[in-house]
């Protein structure tokens, strides 16, 4: 039974780290004008890869993981707000920028944080940030095919 389940587990493993609820949960918790794009924390618009932005790294430092746990997300946001964390150094805290619909990774350049230098991205529809990158899906499919070919050779 385990041998039959292994390929399926390998194929679905990237989805286990799903965080597709984070953009909507962040918007709801902060009463932000829009759900942020996955690039708020991730390198790619589809998310799913490692966290690379200053804001994303600050959230990880506060205990946020990629398992879609809303309590960890809200706890990390509250901790950033309490510490007045300012990832881009523009004088406005990250949480205040998110509430204003701005990206806390981008210095607005006004020093006071009151300018409207950032424009929130349009909403993205689909699988959300947790969608596995194509490389993970291709790797999983390749492993399943190799496993099947190896099994046929044994017979």
- How does DSSP classify residue 89? -
Angle of helix 134-154 relative to helix 2-12, nearest 10 degrees, comes to 160
**Tokens representing residue 77 in the block:** 């946001």
Average pLDDT over residues 10-37: 79
**Cα–Cα distance between 129 and 43 in angstroms, integer?**
11
What would the pLDDT profile of 112-124 be if each residue is shown by its tens digit? 544 555 555 555 5
Cα within 13 Å of Cα(119), Cβ side = 2
* Better-predicted residue by pLDDT, 19 or 86: 86
User: Would you give the distance in Å from CA 66 to the centre of its chain?
Assistant: 7
Give the mean pLDDT of the chain. 78
Kindly report whether the global pTM for this prediction surpasses the value 0.75.
no
Predicted local distance difference test score (pLDDT) of residue 126:
47
């Amino acid at each position: 039974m385990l041998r039959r389940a292994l390929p399926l587990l390998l194929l679905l493993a990237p989805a286990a780290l799903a965080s597709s609820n984070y953009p909507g949960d962040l918007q709801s918790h902060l009463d932000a004008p829009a759900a942020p794009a996955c690039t708020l924390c991730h390198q790619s618009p589809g998310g799913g890869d490692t966290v690379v932005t200053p804001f994303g790294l600050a959230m990880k430092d506060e205990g946020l993981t990629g398992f879609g746990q809303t309590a960890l997300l809200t706890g990390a946001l509250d901790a950033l707000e309490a510490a007045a964390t300012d990832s881009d150094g523009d004088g406005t805290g990250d949480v205040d920028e998110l509430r204003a619909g701005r990206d806390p990774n981008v210095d607005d350049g006004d020093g006071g944080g009151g300018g409207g230098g950032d424009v929130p991205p349009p909403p993205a529809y689909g699988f959300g940030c947790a969608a596995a990158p194509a490389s993970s899906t291709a790797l999983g499919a390749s492993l399943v095919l190799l496993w099947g070919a190896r099994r046929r050779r044994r017979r």
